[in-house]
Amino acid sequence: MIFLQVKRTLLITCFFSCHICLIAFAQQNAEIEILNANTFEGDESLGPNVSRLLGDVRFRHKNTLMFCDSAYLYQQSNSLEAFGKIIITKGDSIRLLGNKLNYDGNTSVATVTGDVVLTDRKMTLYSDDLTYNMDAETGSYIGGGKILDAENVLTSETGTYHAGSRTLYFKYKVRLENPSYHLTSDTLTYNTFSKVAGFHGPTYIYSHDRDSSFIYCRKGWYNTASGKSYFGRHSYIRSGSRFISADSLLYDRNLLLGRGFNNVSLKDTVEQLNITGDYGFMDDKHKTGFVTGKTLMTRYFDADTLYLHADTLFASQDTIAGLKNWQAFHGVKFFKNDLQGKCDSIAFSESDSLMRMFKRPVIWNETNQLTADSIMLLIYGNEVKELIMRNNSFICSSEDSLRYNQVRGRDMTGQFVENELNEIFVIGNGQSIYYTRNNKDQITGVNRADCSDMVIRIEDRKIREIGLINQPEAILYPPDELSPKELILKGFRWRGAERPLTFKDIFE
């Protein structure tokens, strides 16, 4: 008895399972229904069970409605061909138009050709051909297409549309037009709901705004509604003469803010200036930017290059006058073949062409070491023109391991000729210790002088003459007459060990 009850239960279960499968199969392979036709006739010339329909023809398959002027219905294969003013609708959102339709009722796939128009909510697709799966709500074209929404026009050679996710995939000669910019790419995805475009392959974005900014990347995404974006794989942004590049970039087109991560570079082609580091920030609206993390500023001169390192490098531009400035903060070192330096901070202003050095600045020019409370270099064009030293100014050079030429004073001003220090003027409280040599380059004496003002002439990158002005007091001593203490001026400190000998030394 128990066995019969179990057997009966199994039979009932199998019956309902099979019944459910048959219902699902029947729904999946539902026959195409004829809703209307002005003329209906069989056409045996095309095969058995083939019907020809003319005039106001209407079909239904599942929840899809199809309208046309004429059609052939192939009942045996559950398919149809339709011609003239094709209209296909599904629900309240999808509407597909064309001139010719091939429809397979077994797969629910419609192939529409000739002036194809697909409308889904606020998106419209135009193409000469479209294959659309009514069940999956996916469509694709291979002969070129155009997508329109409220603000954007997108064209490509091939494309695929997923109505469920409202996502489009484009390939080959992709172009996105917007009132504020236009974009070209090899491969692009676009969501009509989120307005986010994704890039794969070389992509170029050109701004139509006054700044005429330009963006390049090989991978990333862009929100066309918010203007926010991400770019990877050696991407860069150009705004006027300025570039920012990095392994990856974040950019806000509306706020004109950009951030770069890893291998960051800020470049100004007009100023011949390039700043690199690990992290960068650029504000196009206020014309400012900075770089941190193993920073390097490279400025190109006509016959030489200046390399500078600091914890942070900052660049800005006066939005009214258009004048540019840059600053370097903390741990500054720089190297140029004929000029090296070190200080805590540096600031350069295009308004007066002065590079200002702060906190224990030191400059080395060939054999000369120059220090002061503050040092300024006048850089005009691409040449160093003038050196300005304020308070506790000091110049020294090494004669040998024990002897040093020294000049100190309140202030000093140096003149450059073709980027080489040629003459220095000492103003106030001048003092000097200077060694003399004979024709055999042997030290013959030491000249110690006190004078309010002095002029120092440099030849072949060495101090050759010191001129004393205003009540000089000078005595020439034999080389060994004065004690070591008398041969050192107040404030002397030799800082040769801090000098960068190559541009790589500025990172030490």
In the chain, what are the domain boundaries?
Answer: 30-114
Could you report the per-residue pLDDT of 224-279, keeping only the tens digit for each? 788 898 988 778 888 777 788 898 999 888 888 888 899 998 787 777 788 899 99
Could you report the per-residue pLDDT of 20-38, keeping only the tens digit for each? 333 333 345 689 999 999 9
Q: Which residue has the higher pLDDT, 412 or 316?
A: 412
Tell me the C-alpha distance between 128 and 109, whole Å: 17
User: Is the pLDDT assigned to residue 82 strictly greater than 90?
Assistant: yes
- Residue of 389, 382, 490 whose CA lies nearest to 432: 490
| Joined tokens for residue 143 | 């002969």
The whole-model pTM stands at 0.70
Strand partners, 334: 308, 341
Tell me the C-alpha distance between 218 and 202, whole Å: 4
pLDDT, residue 299, reads 84
Q: Exposed, middle or buried by CB within 10 Å (0-12, 13-18, 19+), for 188?
A: buried
pLDDT, residue 175, reads 92
| Joined tokens for residue 421 | 């220090």
| Joined tokens for residue 171 | 């390939």
Q: Looking at beta carbons, which pairs linking 423-428 to residues 24 or more positions away fall under 8 Å? A: 423/455, 423/456, 423/457, 423/458, 424/387, 424/395, 424/455, 424/456, 424/458, 425/453, 425/454, 425/455, 425/456, 426/393, 426/453, 426/454, 426/455, 426/456, 427/453, 428/452, 428/453
Could you report the per-residue pLDDT of 183-233, keeping only the tens digit for each? 899 899 988 788 888 988 888 888 877 666 788 888 899 897 888 989 887
Lowest model confidence (mean pLDDT) among 147-151, 225-229, 317-321, 453-457: 317-321
Query: pLDDT confidence of 7, banded at 50, 70, 90?
Result: very low
| Residue positions counted in the chain | 508
Percent of the chain residues past pLDDT 90, beyond the cut: 41
Tell me the C-alpha distance between 491 and 463, whole Å: 20
Tell me the C-alpha distance between 53 and 42, whole Å: 9
- Residue of 71, 104, 110 whose CA lies nearest to 89: 110
- Residue of 308, 348, 360 whose CA lies nearest to 332: 308
361 within 8 A of 372, measured Cβ to Cβ: yes
- Residue of 434, 436, 431 whose CA lies nearest to 473: 431
133 within 8 A of 111, measured Cβ to Cβ: no
